Amino acid sequence: MVSTDHGGPNHSKVNLELAYPELLTSREAVPEVIQFYGMEFDTPGADHSSLIIPHTYDESERLYDIESQFNKREPFPRDRNWDTEPRMLEALDFMKTMESKPVVIANHPSRSAQGLGEYGLYDPAEFRNWNDKAPDIAVGMAGAPGHQAATISPDSSFRERPRGGYGRFPTMGGFDQMTARLGGFWDSMLGEGRRWWITANSDAHVHWKDGGADFWPGEYSKTYVYAEKSHEDILNGIREGRVFVTLGDLISELYVSVEGGHHTAEIGGSIHVSPGQDVQVTIRFKEPESENAWGQKPSVSRVDLIIGEVSGPVTDRDTDTNPSTQVLQRFYQEDWKEENAYKVIRFTLAELDNNSYIRIRGTNGDELEPEVDSAGENPWADLWFYSNPVFIEID
């Protein structure tokens, strides 16, 4: 769990003197929960970002140093010179000087978008600039935004509000268009070979039962990280893309392995194979045994194996498409086998000749592609999960 309060005028001092001591108290009270220090960074020239600080003896000073110098809402009165894209690149340069580097994840990247591919506070070139500047710090974006309970009233009825607070262009199956659009922005980044990962968060402010728009952390969106239970390995797992995300507890485990030439890679990893060699893909997933927070036990109706080519840097840094991306195979319940508590799918990528990546997506519904979410819909009825990619490099 990550503490991610917003900033504001002189908020760096509030974090240092008030919030951080509370975090220390919380760690002592609930030692079984790994708790990180961080903030929802008011990103220069952009929207919000999750800023996660490594767990070190001086973690409070490290956040103070970043927030006090670069959080765009820190100065009072407001100084517009703090709110520019070059200033964010300066912030990343500063973070790179730290012995233990933080992680920056862009939140609700298309919440300010005016339409499909009509971006707002975030745009493709901006993310490429971040990732070029600090590839081990600016590692990705929230694939599924928070505020997913915006459509639910305190009496459990549904109200005409958009999921995620996406009032201009909606989410798609609860996911941001930058992730959900097949062959879209995310695939364009992966097609460059960028290690640009997706996560999910709650963005919890006020719970829906109290009239707010939010679920508790982990109540609806979950980011699963393959890691030992330690601050260091969890943060490294996020940094290295060892992550899958799911909504509504559609699944509780997902393993994707790619095998070729006596080598194997898993989510977030890469494998080297010879030209024309067959590659074996194995997908294993588990559905939770218990009900989700809505009292349901959803089941996976379909799993999609998505593949795209990795062709190197784009000429136009505003590129947000990868035309090579396709759903290579759709698997339905009759296509997978039951092995112990897991559903297992095996598939052969025959005679692969191009540098590629694969990623996995699944749903409890029947939409072949995630459609735009209507205001007032039940978020528990439209559930998806996504894996981060595995890269296949042809030698």
CA distance 126 to 128: 5
Residue 387 near residue 241, CB atoms below 8 Å: no
Residue 277 near residue 264, CB atoms below 8 Å: no
Q: How far from the centroid of its chain's Cα atoms is residue 127's Cα?
A: 14
Q: What is the pTM of this model?
A: 0.97
What totals of helices (H) and strands (E) does the chain contain, helices first? 8, 18
Show the tokens assigned to 204.
């919890």
Show the tokens assigned to 251.
């699944």
306-328: b (≥16 Cβ within 10 Å) or e: bbbbbeeebeeeebbbbeebbee
User: Measuring CA to CA, which residue among 247, 234, 218, 210 is closest to residue 370?
Assistant: 247
3-class secondary-structure state, position 115: strand
Measured CA to CA in angstroms, residue 262 lies from 46, 272, 353, 358 at distances of 44, 10, 18, 19
3-class secondary-structure state, position 319: coil
Measured CA to CA in angstroms, residue 242 lies from 32, 212, 291 at distances of 22, 32, 26
Show the tokens assigned to 339.
């092995």
Q: Report, in angstroms and rounded to the nearest whole number, the Rg of the chain calculated over CA atoms.
A: 21
CA atoms within 13 A on the CB side of 118: 6
- At 261 the pLDDT is 83
Neighbours of 262 (CB within 10 A): 6
Q: In this structure, is the dihedral angle defined by the CA atoms of residues 66, 69, 72 and 73, taken in order, positive or negative? A: positive
Neighbours of 333 (CB within 10 A): 11
- At 262 the pLDDT is 85
Q: What is the 3-state secondary structure (H, E, C) of 204-225?
A: CCCEHHHCCCECCCCCCEEEEE
Q: pLDDT tens per residue, the chain (395 residues)?
A: 999 999 999 999 999 999 999 999 999 999 999 999 999 999 999 999 999 999 999 999 999 999 999 999 999 999 999 999 999 999 999 999 999 999 999 999 999 999 999 999 999 999 999 999 999 999 999 999 999 999 999 999 999 999 999 999 999 999 999 999 999 999 999 999 999 999 999 999 999 999 999 999 999 999 999 999 999 999 999 999 999 999 999 999 999 999 998 899 999 999 999 999 999 999 999 999 999 999 999 999 999 999 999 999 999 999 999 999 999 999 999 999 999 999 999 999 999 999 999 999 999 999 999 999 999 999 999 999 999 999 999 98
- Angle at which helix 85-96 crosses helix 124-133, to 10 degrees, equals 20
Q: What angle do CA 283, 148, 359 make, to 5 degrees?
A: 20
DSSP 8-state symbol, 172: B
User: Measuring CA to CA, which residue among 40, 21, 376, 64 is closest to residue 217?
Assistant: 40
3-class secondary-structure state, position 93: helix
CA distance 79 to 257: 49
Residue 85 near residue 126, CB atoms below 8 Å: yes
Residue 352 near residue 279, CB atoms below 8 Å: yes
CA distance 264 to 164: 37
CA distance 19 to 27: 13
